[in-house]
Chains A and B, each alone.
Chain A
């Protein structure tokens, strides 16, 4: 069908929209570009948005990447991220699915209990005591299990499961499927968008996790990337009495921004792969029809 010719006012409106979106894009990209440019700053140059490529210096990246602690920390972060996603997704699915079934006895009460933890946090000390009494201090389990299930993610996933047609489940049950089989062969294959979306939420949270490792882990070799990068940069602020090697290799602001790039990049690379599921997953999970 031939496209209907647009009126002048429609075209103007579309151009206006385009211009606005380009503006939004610029506002979004400029800070990221600035971070990238400053991370490439050589000694003797002021931070600028327009640092020419022939002046770029990768000294800050080299300084951070070749730190003896950084690769171990990156490995720790990967372990915590993938392990965390696996544990959190498994627990969230196993909690969300039964809670999405109307026939579950006491469902409202259980959801209420879960919501209670969403509204009222136990606090730092009680959490620490629980972790200690379970013998988890200074192990990855303390980071992986503590807060493994996000109530928000659980509710989103529960709502998503509720939105799946019940007839599919009934058909499976007529064919003799039990609860596990229904979950595994019917529900989960239909839940890819929400699994990827929630998985990404958990992944980002675990990748950026900073507070729990420093609270529960005392062995420095177990620390993840954000903690180790912070420690490297700490030397820049306490130059009064701490010897810092990093500051001798690259400007302080370049080191900070390079750390920002290094910590952000992996998650930034993951987003495009999951993007097509992302909007769908969040929207479907949030709307009950």
Chain B
């Protein structure tokens, strides 16, 4: 009898253990996450990445992380996955057009119900109702719209050593800017006896890394339009809403750029150069002033100082226009965007997604995803995450490929990411420069631009405006009342009025235009 009872008890125990094991197994949720590589030089995290283990043990999530190809290839891949109803559970979207399309196709799930399941993250990242409007359709929020952390890091850098050599002061107005640019072009500031320098260089660049390019000549010339009070695409005037291109000052700003071109104080290749060319040339020491981001500057400093051992750079405030206005340009407060596939929500993975995102927001998850392996990839002197640069980014970067999910732009993080560096005997405190660029740029928040849906012929509109402005700026077309009016009336041919009307409507509805 006793033997029988023991046997029965043992069997029951074994059965219970087996059942509990099965239950634990059953509680692990498979979660696929696809993000763009945070460190394109580095491979994906290895299979034995400790995050996989920790997330499984602590969060009950079997994480499967894949990296999307950069640029438009990533959009193509997401589009193909959507068509195959095979979107990852949680994924990053960088194209708002693709995001809108996925919403219309019913591929994305509303995430309203998840926000309350990750209270800390939601409070600090997704509590801005106006920003959430960017991803809201029919009252439902279809994405986790992150705030921007590295916006407004651009500016005009001037060669301080050249200013001193020529006995000039840093320009503060457009007129002074012109005179300094002329001197840098004509007075041989590098002293090599050759006429090989230019006063200024920028390129036609529509990259939206935290700033908004507007219609026309792109980011690098927004400061001119800002000096005339017409930076950005729209005037945001509730009484007479219109595109800035229609403003009289828009023409004056374009005339100023033409003046720079005609005086040959701007690199004559500006209209065809790309950002990489610009970077190569300022690093070679060909420009007295150039448009660049703090991050871009950091990446090129070594080459710059090798070429120009005695050089010194100064970050200019945006030059003031005739009416005293100034702005380096417009920006959006919206950063990365993450979406949840409808399939993931339908199969009950929403809670696991919220659990993972909340974990990634702070504490252990934040440091593991954002900074990698403690005491290997980074240390924490004075609570500042400090990267171990002895380990190359190509190795270290594997462990921080998901860092955008974690980073939130707090001051310590910025000090860690943009540290103090010494190049060519000169000290650069990169996070201070970043803050300076943000502070002194008089940047204009135009987050509302992102609620304006692209017109069906958006490419035609952009091409028309851009081509005409390039022709005006290059001197291929005269700028006078007749030619300018002809340009403006030509906007009708690309149905610009409809685009403006749609923009006004949605901006008013969303509260960006009051």
A residues sitting closer than 8 Å to B (CB atoms) are: 43-46, 67-69, 72, 124-125, 128-129, 132, 137, 211, 214-215, 218-221, 227, 230-232, 234-248, 251-253, 256
- Could you list some 9 contacts between A and B, CB below 8 A? A43-B306, A129-B83, A214-B69, A219-B44, A219-B66, A239-B293, A243-B397, A252-B279, A253-B276
In the complex, chain B residues whose CB is within 8 Å of the CB of A72? 43
Chain B facing A: main interface SS: helix
Listed from nearest, the 8 A-B pairs whose CB atoms lie closest are A44-B306, A239-B299, A245-B393, A43-B306, A220-B44, A128-B80, A214-B69, A234-B40
Residues of B within 8 A of A43 (CB): 302-303, 306-307
| Chain A residues near B417 (CB-CB < 8 A) | 243
Q: Is B209 an interface residue (CB 8 A)?
A: yes
Instruction: State how many angstroms separate the Cβ of B207 from the closest Cβ of chain A.
Output: 8
Which interface residue of A218, A240, A256 has the most chain B CB atoms within 10 A?
Answer: A240
CB-CB under 8 A from A46, the residues of chain B are 284
Decide: A232 near B84, CB < 8 A? Known: A43-B303, A239-B298, A252-B280: no
- Asked if A132 and B84 make an inter-chain contact with CB atoms under 8 angstroms apart, the answer reads yes
List chain A residues, Cβ under 8 A from B37: 231, 234
**Bound Cα distance A168, B392 (Å):** 63
Q: Are B43 and A69 in contact (CB under 8 A)?
A: yes
Is residue B39 within 8 Å, beta carbon to beta carbon, of the partner chain? yes
- Chain B residues in 8 Å Cβ range of A243: 39, 393, 397, 417
Q: What is the bound-complex CA distance between A248 and B42, given in angstroms?
A: 15
Q: Are A240 and B276 in touch, CB under 8 angstroms?
A: no
Complex CA gap A241/B42 in Å reads 15
- B9-42 interface with A by 8 A CB criterion: 34, 37-42
Among the 9-residue stretches B53-61, B71-79, B136-144, B467-475, the one with 4 or more Cβ atoms under 8 Å from chain A is B71-79
Contact pattern, B 144-178, Cβ under 8 Å of A = 1, otherwise 0: 00000010010000000000000000000000000
Contacts of B70 in A (CB 8 A): 230-231, 234
- Please give the distance in Å from A237's CB to the nearest CB on chain B: 6
Interface membership of B210, Cβ < 8 A: yes
Residues on A with C-beta less than 8 A from B44 are: 219-221
Q: Which residues of B contact A256 (CB under 8 A)?
A: 276
Q: Which residue of A lies closest to B395 (CB)?
A: A68
Question: How far is it, in angstroms, between the C-alpha of A231 and the C-alpha of B41 when the chains are bound?
Answer: 6
Kindly state the separation between the CA atoms of A280 and B299 in the bound complex, as whole angstroms. 51
Q: Choose among B39, B306, B307 the residue that contacts A242 (Cβ–Cβ < 8 A).
A: B39
Contact A240 B295 (CB under 8 A): yes
Which chain A residue has the least Cβ–Cβ distance from B400?
A243
CA distance A69 to B207 in the complex (A): 28
B84 touches A242 (CB 8 A): no
Q: Which of A129, A234, A235, A251 contacts B84 (CB 8 A)?
A: A129
A46 → chain B, closest Cβ, in Å?
A: 5
Bound together, the chains give a CA A236 to CA B279 distance in angstroms of 10
B275 at the interface (CB under 8 A from A): yes
Instruction: State whether A241 touches B209 (Cβ < 8 A).
Output: yes
Shortest distance from the beta carbon of A53 to any chain B beta carbon, whole Å: 20
Most chain A beta-carbon contacts within 10 A, residue among B71, B76, B394: B394
Chain B residues with CB under 8 Å of chain A are 34, 37-44, 66-67, 69-71, 73, 76-77, 79-81, 83-84, 86, 150, 153, 207, 209-210, 275-276, 279-280, 283-284, 293, 295-296, 298-300, 302-303, 306-307, 392-395, 397, 417
Given A214-B77, A237-B275, does the pair A253, B43 have CB atoms closer than 8 Å?
no
List of B residues within 8 angstroms of A68 by Cβ: 42-43, 394-395
Contacts of B209 in A (CB 8 A): 238, 240-241
Identify the closest chain A residue to B294 (Cβ).
Answer: A240
Q: Which of B76, B86, B296 contacts A239 (CB 8 A)?
A: B296
Contacts of A137 in B (CB 8 A): 86
Q: How far is the CA of A221 from the CA of B47 in the complex (A)?
A: 11
Contact of B303 with A237 in the complex, beta carbons under 8 Å: no
Among A44, A69, A72, A128, the one with the most B-chain Cβ atoms within 10 Å of its Cβ is A44
- Chain B residues in 8 Å Cβ range of A239: 279, 293, 295-296, 298-300
Q: How far is the CA of A235 from the CA of B397 in the complex (A)?
A: 12
- How many angstroms from the CA of A125 to the CA of B77 in the assembled complex? 10
Given contacts A67-B41, A234-B40, A252-B280, 4 further A-B contacts (CB under 8 A): A128-B83, A214-B77, A221-B43, A221-B44
CA distance A45 to B73 in the complex (A): 34
Complex contact A124–B80 (CB within 8 A):
yes
Known: A244-B299, A245-B393. A232 touches B80 (CB 8 A): no
A247 and B306 form a contact (CB under 8 A): no
Closest to B398 in A: A68
- Residue pair B393, A244 in contact (C-beta under 8 Å): yes
Q: What residues of chain A lie closer than 8 Å to B42, measured between beta carbons?
A: 68-69
Shortest Cβ distance from residue B345 to the other chain A in the assembled complex, whole angstroms:
21
Given contacts A234-B70, A251-B303, contact A244 B41 (CB under 8 A): yes
B306 to chain A, nearest CB (A): 4
**Contact between chains at A237 and B84 (CB < 8 Å):** no
Q: How far apart sit A215 and B83, CA to CA, in the bound complex (Å)? A: 13
CB-CB under 8 A from A128, the residues of chain B are 80-81, 83-84
A137 to B296, CA, bound (A): 37
The docked-state distance in angstroms from the alpha carbon of A206 to that of B365 is 41
Q: List residues of chain B with CB within 8 A of the CB of A242.
A: 38-40, 295
Considering the chains assembled together, what is the distance between the CA atoms of A129 and B84 in angstroms? 6
Contact A237 B276, beta carbon cutoff 8 Å: yes
In contact, A247 and B86 (Cβ under 8 angstroms): no
Chain A hits for B34, CB < 8 A: 218
* Given A68-B43, A129-B84, A231-B40, CB of A245 within 8 Å of CB of B394: yes
CB-CB under 8 A from A227, the residues of chain B are: 69
CB distance from A34 to the nearest CB of B (A): 14
The answer to whether A240 touches B153, judged by C-beta atoms less than 8 angstroms apart, is yes
- Name the CB-closest residue of B to A138: B66
| Shortest Cβ gap from A131 to chain B (Å) | 9
A114 to B173, CA, bound (A): 67
Question: What chain A residues lie within 8 Å of B86 (beta carbons)?
Answer: 132, 137
B307 touches A44 (CB 8 A): yes
In the complex the two chains form, is A253's CB within 8 Å of B280's CB? Answer: yes
Residue of B nearest to A228 (CB): B43
Q: How far is the CA of A125 from the CA of B82 in the complex (A)?
A: 9
Q: List the A side residues contacting B69 at CB < 8 Å.
A: 214, 227
Q: Which residues does chain B contribute within 8 Å of A214, judged by CB atoms? A: 69, 73, 77
Q: Which residues from B are CB-within-8-Å of A251?
A: 280, 283, 303
Please measure, in the bound complex, the distance between the C-alpha atom of A231 and the C-alpha atom of B36, giving whole angstroms.
11
